[in-house]
Chains A and B, each alone.
Chain A
Amino acid sequence: MLTMQGVSKSFLGVRVLHDVGLDLQPGEVHALVGENGAGKSTLMKVLAGEHTPDTGSITLDGTAHTFSHPGQAQAAGIGIIHQEFALLAHRTVAENVFLGREPTRRGLVDRAAMERRTAELLAEIDETGITPRTLVRDLSVARQQTVEIVKALASDVRVLVMDEPTAPLAEHEVALLSALVRRLTARGLGILYISHRLKEVFDLSTRVTVLKDGRHVTTVRTADTTPDDIVRAMVGRDLTAYYPPRARHDEIGEVRLTVTGGGNARLRDIDLTLRAGEVVGIAGLQGAGRTSLARALFGAAPFTTGAMTVGGKPLRPSRPRQAIRAGIALVTEDRKSEGLALRQSVRDNALLVTRAVAVRGRPPAGREVTALLERVRLQSRGEDQQAQFLSGGNQQKVVIAKWLAAGPQVLLFDEPTRGVDVGAKAAIHTLVRELAREGLAVLIISSELPELIGMSDRIHVMSEGRLVGELPAGAGEESIMRLATAGSDRAAGAPGAPREGAA
């Protein structure tokens, strides 16, 4: 029914899809899996006309298509359900389903026809909990998703792309979605199903395609494979980068931060200990709660339950200021909007924390700032240069300098090298290790498994807001991915973390 062949796509000279192919039969659920950034979403956006491929072809029912606009893909019969819904909360279900193509009668919207047709579509998929006149904002997330699906059905789609459809759903809603997916395939729709959760993939799909680093790895019948094989295909790669040596036993010192039973809206049962001199890695898929954990430790989105100690004293920070005073620093994932005041000078950025919070009396004087910027090996055209004109790596160094000025005891890094070029990346890795060696406790969150494995003395794996397992230094990517992709059923029953020898 659908064939994609030789699809390549580059952004600003960087290839994110290399010659990827895929085909889909009517009535089939074809699962698409891969690590964060393997190219799944990009491939689906190419299919849905949101990106135009550089090379490659899309053939639907024997007709070749080149989509340059999502509307064309929709007209050809391709629907996509994004992770974020495109619904108008204050409009009714029927209005949303027919948004932009309302049936008209004598120039006016024919509400009756619109509602009748919506009711028919809802009946076809056995959805009884939604009426055409319900306001979307009054529906649960799962039902809003159903409305999205009905919206796609209303435009006679043949191929439905579902991008992480279960990510926003609760456990019992997942079962309902699975049932809905089966009903849709029974009607002859082909479904491309992107998911991190291998359990669903094995429950639902007929075939699985694995993407890695923008390349097609394999396509197999689900019945002929095992979750372990899929995980291996997802991560199989060589470590090419070199990382500074890990901490020796005698370099790991006193406990700097502990959390017991920490939880909030996004986190549950967090037990964590950070020690001086040690780099602890947090692995997990997108949405596993890694950033929430860092923000909770930093008091930006505080824990609501559980106990925390910092430097041996009980403190559960409820504001960043409290955390900063206690010696916690957070290098955020989003450097541009959360890490830097981009239009301010390097110096003003480096001094921001010490000016805002009297951590060590007065903010450092000019010479100390210069020393600090040399310490992080900043390369700039002077301390007066605006932060926005620095490269990503140097911006990150300014962020680190800003925190070092406050003399922290615990450094939290959320994606420390995202958007950083290779050279600066190595410099940051070296710097992080130096700081640990000087007695700081370091926590690193990274979506790049090689980085995480290369840097960490210990790795915690997160899934669905929990720490589901702890692995020693040098743990393999496969064991990390196995823990990270396990469904919540397995996650809940994994208190004794699997251990494995250094790889």
Chain B
Amino acid sequence: MSAPTETPDTAKSAAGKAPTAATGTRIVRALGTGIPVYLLLAVLLLALLITDPGFYEPDSFLSFVKRAAPLVILAAGQYLVIVCGEFDLSVGAIVTAGVVVAAELYGSFPDAHWLVVTAILLVAGGLAGLISGLITTVLRVPSFITTLGMMLILEGAAFFWTGGSPQGVLPTAFRQLGRGTAFGWLPWAVVACLVAGTAAVLVMRSDFGRTLVATGDSDRAAALAGVRVIRVRTVAFILSGAAAALAAVLVGGFSGVSAQAGRGYEFEAITAVVLGGVVLGGGRGSVVAAMAGAFSLQALFTLLNLQGVSGALESTVQGVIVIAAVGLGAADWSRLRHRRTPPGSGPPDRTPPGTTHPTGTHNSGGTPS
């Protein structure tokens, strides 16, 4: 029933009978659409080495990773939401609100244990994600609008609560995660980043992660395969909110209390994810590449800083990157698809549904009649 141009499939190897080829392709596939970002990251790290030979001193490099940590964690959370076909614009506001709430909590309970406060923030971040997620999935408000609204609400609430200039100081114990070190050399932020990154990778390898990507690819197909689309998407929002709260703990520890603590982080996170080759609209891209995108972005900002480019230009650079990454991604796709597909095997079914097959016993027509 397909176009005569299509060769019989018999030429191709049977499933799973080419283990050696499979390992090779598996590596390529593991990198997936992220290959450009790894190259970009390598180039940027090399450029940093040339610009500042001291960059790879352990201390200096670890402090780079430490500065990148909040963005990496945010990118991992943002990835979960983007890969299932949504956006989360509220993460920056969650960071701000998280820092402010922590300061206010310590204002009321100066002796609270840092673990308790951190746990409260994580739960609150997850709760914000839960609300965004339910509004998006159950009420079918586009997530762009839901999370934009959530961002404005949280920013406004934080501003209102603090009157614009947050009071209170975060105790040293709480700030350890953001600026302290383990064993005297390993920043806790790097540990947190590694833990969050590992968790993200494990999530994406789990059944939940695979159904999440499938949902982003085709929610109709997923729903008909028994996926609880609403639940899966909502969980992605919850995880994104919790990741933002964790980033808030790091940011609060690193730079202290401010009503602008998380400003702009939502777009940096989205930029990082896009840079990682994750397809907006969902269904494609890896979380490791998204996190590599966050490192690349941080490396780029560092590089610009070292080159003496004004920090004010950061958002301009970011804008260019977002457009370029999405544009190049889209352009690459159409070309790659032709190149990768041997003649005859691919894009199947360009034929209109049901057309006369050669024996002519039946014709279901290019169009229903």
Residues of A within 8 A of B (CB): 11-16, 34, 36-42, 45, 194, 211, 213-214, 237-241, 286, 298, 300, 320-321, 324, 330, 332, 336-346, 348-349, 351-353, 355-357, 363, 370, 373-374, 377-384, 388-395, 402, 417-425, 447-451
Contacts and interface: CB of A to CB of B under 8 A. Distances in A.
B9 A424 contact: yes
Nearest to B351: A12
A384 B222 contact: no
B347 interface: yes
A49 to B, nearest CB: 15
B351 A320 contact: no
B224 A392 contact: no
A31 B365 CA distance: 19
A34 B221 contact: no
Nearest to A406: B226
B226 A321 contact: yes
Given A321-B228, A356-B225, A383-B22, A392 B348 contact: yes
Nearest to A45: B367
B16 interface: yes
* Interface pairs A-B: 10 shortest CB-CB: A37-B364, A37-B365, A40-B369, A41-B369, A341-B217, A370-B16, A373-B15, A379-B9, A355-B207, A357-B226
B281 to A, nearest CB: 10
Q: Report, as a range, how many residues of chain B touch the other chain.
A: 35 or more
B15 A13 contact: no
Given A382-B15, A419-B1, A450-B362, 16 more contacts: A12-B3, A13-B4, A332-B224, A344-B213, A344-B283, A351-B210, A382-B18, A383-B15, A383-B16, A384-B26, A389-B348, A390-B348, A391-B348, A394-B348, A422-B358, A451-B362
Which interface residue of B223, B346, B347, B348 has the most chain A CB atoms within 10 A?
Answer: B348
A399 to B, nearest CB: 9
Given A12-B351, A39-B365, A338-B224, A382 B2 contact: no
A11 B1 contact: no
Contact of A381 (B1, B2, B8, B12): B12
Contacts of B354: 37, 418-419, 447
A36 B363 CA distance: 8
Contact of A320 (B22, B226, B341): B226
Contacts of A42: 365-367, 369
B221 A16 contact: no
Contact of B225 (A213, A337, A353, A392): A353
Given A382-B15, A450-B361, A422 B225 contact: no
B210 A11 contact: no
Interface in B337-366: 340-341, 345-366
Contacts of B341: 389
B21 A340 contact: no
Contacts of A379: 9-10, 12-15
A348 B29 contact: no
B227 interface: yes
Contacts of A320: 223-226
B15 A346 contact: yes
A106 to B, nearest CB: 42
Contact of B1 (A321, A378, A421): A421
B5 interface: yes
Contacts of A451: 362
Contacts of B226: 320-321, 324, 353, 356-357
A233 to B, nearest CB: 15
A47 to B, nearest CB: 13
Given A11-B351, A16-B356, A370-B16, A342 B364 contact: no
Which interface residue of B207, B340, B357, B369 has the most chain A CB atoms within 10 A?
Answer: B369
Contacts of A37: 354, 362-365, 368-369
A214 B365 contact: yes
Nearest to A213: B363
B289 to A, nearest CB: 15
A418 B15 contact: no
B4 A11 contact: no
A11 B355 contact: yes
B6 interface: yes
B313 to A, nearest CB: 36
Contacts of A393: 2, 9
Contact of A213 (B347, B360, B366): B360
A14 B349 contact: no
A447 B211 contact: no
Nearest to B208: A355
A392 B2 contact: yes
Contacts of A321: 226, 228
20 contacts: A12-B350, A13-B5, A15-B356, A36-B369, A37-B368, A38-B363, A41-B369, A320-B224, A320-B225, A337-B220, A340-B218, A341-B218, A352-B222, A352-B225, A379-B10, A380-B12, A381-B18, A389-B345, A392-B349, A419-B353
